[in-house]
Amino acid sequence: MKKLALTLLLIWGALAPLSAATRTDVNVLEATENIRYLSQEITKSYLYLYANPKKKEMKAEIQRMLNELVESIRTISISTSDEDTRNVLEFLIYSKDQIEELVKEKPDKEKAALMLDYSETLLEGANSIAKAHKYAFSESEKMLMKSKRIEYLLERSAKYYMALGIGLGSEINRRQMTEAIKMLEGNLQDLEAYAYPAQMQKPLGALRRSWDVTKSIFDRRDKMFVSNLLVLSSSEVESITREFILYHRKTR
C-alpha cells in the first residue's frame, strides 16, 4: 500500500497545471464527487458485512457500487484526454479490481483494514483529478456540490464508525470520523443559509432533524455499537439529501 500511495502522490504532482475551465469540467467534478462517495460507501458496506455476516445480500450491493464506480471513471475518461488524468484512472481501476478480489472472500479484520486503505487511495485519486479541473460554479451549482459532499461525508463518518465498532479503533480513525462529522455539519449549515423556495423548506427541516438523530448515534459510539440503526438512520439522511441534489440539477 505504501508503494501505491507513493505512486499516487507522484501522479498528483503531475496534475498541478490547470487547464482552462469548461463545462466539461463540471461533469468531471461531479464524477469525482461520485467516486469520493462510493469510495466510502463501498468500504462502509464491507465493514457492515463483517459486523453482520448474515447480511449476505451486501455482497451484491457492494458489486453494484463497484459498477457505479466504473461508470464514474468512464465519465471522466470520455471527458478528458489529459494523459496524467488517465494514469490516475488506471490506478483507480486497479484499486477497484483489488476490492473486488477482497469482496469474493470471507470478510475478516485483516481484509477490513485493507479495505480502509483502498477507500483512502480511491479518495486520493478522485481528489487529485478534481484539482486539475476548476470551474466557476453558479450559486446553485455550489449547493449541488455541497449536497453531494454531505452524502460523501456521511458515508465517511459511517465508515469510521463501523471500523471503530469492529475493533479497528486507532486514534487516526477516531479523528477522521470526528473531522468528517464536523465538515458535514458545516455543509448542512450552508444549505440552511441558502435562499430556498417555500417547497424546499419542509425537506430542509426534515434533513436537519434526521441528521440530529444520526449524529446522536455517532455521539454515543463509545457506549454502544448499533450498526443496523446507523445504516437505517444515515440512509434516511441521504434520501432527503438527494432531494436537494435533484433540485439543484434542475436549477443550475
141 and 237 fall within a common domain: yes
pLDDT tens digits for range 197-224: 999 999 999 999 999 999 999 999 989 9
85 and 191 fall within a common domain: no
Predicted local confidence at residue 6, as pLDDT: 44
195 and 131 fall within a common domain: no
> What nine digits make up the cell of 49?
458485512
157 and 97 fall within a common domain: no
Residue span of the structural domain in which 17 resides:
1-136
218 and 151 fall within a common domain: yes
CATH number of the structural domain spanning residue 242 = 1.20.1440
169 and 74 fall within a common domain: no
132 and 147 fall within a common domain: no
Predicted local confidence at residue 14, as pLDDT: 44
**Domains in the chain, number:** 2
CATH number of the structural domain spanning residue 116 = 1.20.120
Predicted local confidence at residue 215, as pLDDT: 98
Predicted local confidence at residue 18, as pLDDT: 42
116 and 216 fall within a common domain: no
Domain end, chosen from 114, 136, 158, is at 136
Predicted local confidence at residue 151, as pLDDT: 97
Domain end, chosen from 136, 151, 185, is at 136
Predicted local confidence at residue 63, as pLDDT: 95
Predicted local confidence at residue 10, as pLDDT: 45
Q: State in Å, rounded, how far the first CA of the chain is from the last one.
A: 40
152 and 102 fall within a common domain: no
Domain end, chosen from 72, 103, 136, is at 136
95 and 182 fall within a common domain: no
Tens of pLDDT along the chain (252 residues) come to 545 554 554 444 444 444 445 667 778 888 999 999 999 999 999 999 999 999 999 999 999 999 999 999 999 999 888 788 889 999 999 999 999 999 999 999 999 999 999 999 999 999 999 988 877 889 999 999 999 999 999 999 999 999 999 999 889 999 999 999 999 999 999 999 999 999 999 999 999 999 999 999 999 998 999 999 999 999 999 999 999 999 999 987
120 and 179 fall within a common domain: no
100 and 186 fall within a common domain: no
Predicted local confidence at residue 16, as pLDDT: 42
